[in-house]
Amino acid sequence: MVPSLFMMQRCLFPGAIGCKPSFILVKRYNCSSQKNARLQDDRWIPTVGLEIHAQINSQSKLFSSAKNQFMAPPNSLVSNFDASIPGTLPVINKECVRKAVRTGLALNCKIQKTSFFDRKHYFYSDMPQGYQITQYKHPIAKNGYLHYPTADGSVVKRVKIEQIQLEQDSGKSMHEEGQVTLIDLNRAGVGLMEIVTAPEVSSAGDACAFLKELYGILMRIGTCDGKLAEGQFRVDANISIAQQKTKLGTRVEVKNISGFKHIHNVIEYEIKRQIRIVEEGGIVESETRAFDYETGFTVSMRDKEIKQDYRFMPEPNLPPLHVYDDSSVTSLSNPSSVINVDQERRNLPKLPADIRGHLIESFHLSFVEAEFLTNRNMENYFIEVMECAHNLNPTVVWNWIKMHVIAHMVEYNLSSIEECYVSARDLAALLLLLHNNEINAETAHLTFTTAIQTRQHPDKIVEENNWKMISDKETVTKLCEDAIATLQCTDAKALSGYDADKPKSKASKQAIKRVIMLVRKNTNDKIHTGVAKDVTMKLLNYKRTS
């Protein structure tokens, strides 16, 4: 490791004097004329291709043993190699390769048994080598595809995945006030998977739907932590418009967008900007633009105005990267030391689409409900609740998870459902009590909160607190009859307003309420009011008609 002092002196420098933010504004398209633009939009076919930079959640960096971790003190996770100290050499991190292979498999790619690394040259202060090690010509995975549901789940679309390449992330430049640039190399050399799609997406909505599906897959297979605010899932969008489907227009690249909402806005904005230019008789320039998070505009990036020549060349310090399969691995003396693609395929978990399908089919959840559970890794919890208590209505269970379980996890800052204080089994018991009218909704909520605090079984909580309600029909009928009789004797007017034809009238309700109040009083508040209400209504109806 480089001593932090060395880096602080030499790297956290008040230098690069005069280095200005690399964005300048060129021309802003005014969003307020949206109405106008929408009218013209139909004549244009937008095409979007996406490049996703997903940070691999490996322990250490792609080519060095420095830790991969966010929010560490600046330049504290920098090995000699990451700082481009002369004489250091890259050593591939097998874990990154494994995760790229898994990702490739999940995206239906053909995994390349041999892939190569290249150097991509450009001078940028947060890229200390003066080049990025990437896979330009022979990436680890090629020719895949992904089926993704549109936002409401009504249609499933398909996008071709051109390739997945392993590459290094750059460091971070922080342009401070006072024209000083500070460099933090903690991120420099962290492994990225660049996932490149074919230009096949035709709207901002579809692009987001695709990205969400992709994101869900990466989360599910555990190859990327996906913290958007930390830049672990960044998107470059190539956007063009044309009048015919067969012809592509000049493409504009918008770089480095994080967050689905932003991506949606960028694509929407850029499509409109391009239409506006063309409609006004202009020509869309092939350029690289950046998204300005503050204004919501895309702006031309001055640095890249001149077309970069990256002067690619093979990385000479890394031998070809080999992965194996069941048949080729047998010839090796130490098969456990290599990546076996077949083994990785067998180890892949169920992917979100399958899980959603299962939830929809077996429990008749809606797409949105199924997606909700899947995205939060809660499907097993849900399924377990349902298995413990077959009678429960899946939507009721889903609602309980959505309302109460999630609220509890947020309150206790729990990151996964496994940490939840109320197990699926316990929730099932609780919901059964509710289902059987042994407790009402209010008590159910109270029991849930108590279960979180005391970690006791709901049955026990209800038992010990004597919260169980009188809901048995015979007993309730008896109690209600008694109450009606009492009222008739003591306060005959109380029931006189009840009208069997209009049970929802104010007077009828008032009458029912009086009965219930008395029953509650007589039972020390243990009556299940819902059941009592039904019974009372029936009794009163009977009395009137008889």
Residues near another protein (CB under 8 A) are: 2-3, 6-7, 10-11, 13, 15-19, 80, 83-92, 119, 121, 123, 125, 128-131, 181, 183, 309-313, 316-319
User: How many C-beta atoms lie closer than 10 Å to residue 9's C-beta?
Assistant: 10
Q: Helix, strand or coil for residue 490?
A: helix
Question: How many residues are there in the chain?
Answer: 546
Q: How far is the CB of 306 from another protein (least distance, A)?
A: 12
What minimum distance in Å lies between the beta carbon of 124 and another protein? 9
Q: Which is nearer to another protein, 134 or 440 (CB)?
A: 134
Of 179, 168, 184, 53, nearest to 117 by C-alpha is: 168
Q: Cα dist. 194→150, 296, 315, 381, 524 in Å?
A: 23, 25, 18, 33, 67
At closest approach, how far in Å is the CB of 380 from another protein? 40
Q: Crossing angle of helices 367-375/352-363, nearest 10°?
A: 130
Q: Which of 301, 23, 73, 20 is nearest to 180 (CA)?
A: 20
Minimum separation from the CB atom of position 88 to another protein (A): 7
Question: Smaller CB distance to another protein: residue 93 or 443?
Answer: 93
User: Which of residues 173 and 529 has its CB atom nearest to another protein in the complex?
Assistant: 173
Assign 3-state DSSP to the chain and report helix, strand, coil percentages, each to 5.
40, 20, 40
Residue 93 phi/psi, 5-degree rounding, is -90, 115
| Beta-bridge partner residues of 147 | 158
Of residues 259 and 314, the one with the C-beta less far from another protein: 314
277: tokens are 């230019």
Q: How far is the CB of 321 from another protein (least distance, A)?
A: 10
Residue 25: CB minimum distance to another protein, A: 20
Q: How far is the CB of 128 from another protein (least distance, A)?
A: 6
Strands (E), 177-216: 180-184, 191-197
Nearest to 185 by CA among 338, 105, 303, 67: 67
